[in-house]
Chain A
Amino acid sequence: MATTSTTVPGAGPRASSRSFLSRLRDGDEIARLLTFLFAATVVLITATLVYQLWVDSVLPRHKFGWKFLVTEVWDPVFDQFGALPFIFGTVVTSAVALLIAVPLGIGAAIFLAELAPRRVSDALTFFIDLLAAVPSVIYGLLGVFILVPLMREVIQPFLRATLGFLPIFSGPGYGVSFLTAGIVLAVMVIPFIISVSREVLMSVPRDVREAALALGATRWESTWKVVVPFARPGIFGSIFLALARALGETMAVTMVIGNTPKIAASLFAPGYSIAAVIANEFTEATGDLYLQSLVELGLVLFLLTFILNGLARLLILLTERRGSGAYA
């Protein structure tokens, strides 16, 4: 229209081609409100989750109180429920997983980002990203068919013979154990650590590497003392992701941990984790107290994830050397 109304200069609605929305007065306000609502949804979902878990676990909370958290007995027949063996199993398997996965994952990420030829790095990263997408039940199957026999016949006897004086490597081993679950979890979270850490390392500006090299640093000195510290917040981010996945992993863990609600000093002993017990027993839970105890376990897992993440962040804040936090 604006192009045709040449006879009336200045009177044509010149802006008619602009979209209605972008011309709305207070458009910024509306955009702000909309995006705020989207963001608020996240908080809302979290709150609903906690609320629902809280409401649906009223029976065991009243019956056992705080003792639920420190009771070792899980006996549906006598209506005795305690979360401690599951908390123990969840924490121990995740700790084992991180102990294995963090050094391996970060080492591999450093190799891929800093040392490997670009083409090799890209090819390997493709496979690593594939690994991250493999469903956990597949990892569970691999665990059952490969790792469990291997643990029973090779790894556990070997560890017992060499490090058997340590309580964590003593006692009989049947293959299914905390250690087995920890190893499977490690295999599952390593791709996350590698993929994210590599990305972060590669985004460290070339300038910063070259500054170290220009001072006479060797390639390794520049990587280890400058590039890795520069990328540290992102690397820690990858570890948080890994921790969150390890804590909540259900399927693969339940297939190899042994599903025995016991606390044991030995990593060779079978155990149980929170996510595994909920998945295994939810459908067959008879009686409200049993069912609600499982719900309360869910609440505990939620809080545990929250607390461990918080502790990890606190640890980082405390160990962060002064002067290095500006980019965090």
Chain B
Amino acid sequence: MNATAKQPISMNISALPGATTREMLADQPMRMTISKLNFWYGPKQTLFDVTLGFAANHITAMIGPSGCGKSTLLRTLNRMYEAVSNARLEGEIQLDGQSILTQDVTQLRRRVGMVFQRPNPFPKSIFDNVAYGPRINGHNQPLAEVVESSLRRAALWEEVKDQLHKSAYELSGGQQQRLCIARALAVEPEVLLLDEPCSALDPISTAKIEELLVQLKELCTIVTVTHNMQQAARVSDFTAFLLTGVMVEYNPTPQLFTTPSDPRTEAYITGRFG
């Protein structure tokens, strides 16, 4: 990591200079904030002084070349990095103004749901997949209602309503990924994290999921990681560009893609590296 790259480009969002689009970002109430985040896997530091916030009921996309730390950053938001034994984190992450680092982790993950890169349904029926979260977390609604409303929100209900007791593995890849979204939605998270949710899917399934994400803004705050810039441009409201563990630029999506403020962002979105 050389000195120029290490320089923290990320900044206090309200301190950004005054273009109207930037004010748009500054005015948003933040659901989650990350400040001064440094992260190590063993001796290797993978995130450097990252600071950013995720606007409530908006979609924030994190883009960057492979290995830039965007997935790691995403996995700090629900403390999924703790599954790796030698991971270490310094800095602060807050959800609704409270530090997530000192909370009970299972409680945190109930509030911050996650969808993974490859569809990963459980080896259970469609119904039991969606019902898993409500079952382990306790719930006050009848399970069947929770399952139906979650599947409807994930735009999967019409396709599976007659086969809820079939194995989830009998669904297509795109359907499985929407099932995973329904499974995450069933515990009514405030924030939904998506780790390259479409990278294993065909274009039609991808389009369906993108459409779905835009609808889900109503329900929760969405943070998605993608290496597909067109996808970030299509669905997100704000975009953060990461490079070798440093947040280079964080701006409203139209601005980042049309008038990037950092030459490295421009180089990336015009395809000069990554």
B-contacting residues of A (Cβ < 8 Å)?
117, 205-218, 221, 225-226, 229-230, 321-327
Contacts and interface: CB of A to CB of B under 8 A. Distances in A.
B108 to A, nearest CB: 8
A296 B76 CA distance: 67
Nearest to A327: B123
Given A323-B168, A327-B169, A216 B187 contact: yes
Given A212-B132, A216-B187, A324 B83 contact: no
B113 A215 contact: yes
Contacts of A327: 123, 169
A213 B133 CA distance: 10
A325 B167 contact: yes
Contacts of A208: 120, 122-123
Given A210-B83, A213-B80, A215-B110, A221 B136 contact: yes
A154 to B, nearest CB: 42
Interface residues of B, number: 37
B109 A215 contact: yes
26 contacts: A117-B85, A206-B83, A207-B116, A210-B116, A210-B120, A211-B120, A211-B122, A211-B180, A211-B183, A212-B132, A213-B83, A214-B109, A214-B113, A214-B184, A216-B107, A216-B108, A216-B110, A216-B133, A216-B137, A216-B187, A221-B136, A322-B125, A322-B166, A323-B128, A326-B167, A326-B168
A215 B132 contact: yes
Interface of B: 78, 80, 83, 85, 106-110, 113-114, 116-118, 120-128, 132-133, 136-137, 165-170, 180, 183-184, 187
A207 B118 contact: yes
A210 B113 CA distance: 11
A215 B136 contact: yes
Contact of A324 (B110, B117, B125): B125
A212 B122 contact: yes
Given A212-B132, A213-B109, A326 B123 contact: yes
Contacts of A210: 80, 83, 114, 116, 120
Contacts of A230: 122-123
A211 B118 CA distance: 11
A218 B123 CA distance: 18
A323 B114 contact: no
Contacts of B127: 323
A210 B75 CA distance: 11
A122 to B, nearest CB: 14
Contact of A215 (B83, B166, B184): B184
A225 B121 CA distance: 13
Contacts of B107: 216
Nearest to A216: B110
A215 B165 CA distance: 21
B136 A225 contact: yes
Given A323-B126, A323-B168, A324-B167, A215 B183 contact: yes
A13 B101 CA distance: 71
Given A216-B109, A323-B166, 7 more contacts: A207-B117, A215-B136, A216-B133, A226-B122, A229-B122, A229-B124, A323-B128
Among A214, A321, A322, max chain B CB count under 10 A is at A214
Contacts of B183: 211, 215
Nearest to B166: A323
Given A215-B133, A216-B133, A221-B136, A323 B80 contact: no
A117 B85 CA distance: 9
Given A210-B80, A324-B167, A217 B136 contact: yes
A216 B135 CA distance: 11
Contacts of A117: 85
B164 to A, nearest CB: 9
B265 to A, nearest CB: 30
Contacts of B132: 212, 215, 217, 225-226
A229 B123 contact: yes
Given A216-B137, A217-B136, A326-B170, A211 B116 contact: yes
Given A323-B126, A323-B128, A324-B125, A216 B106 contact: yes
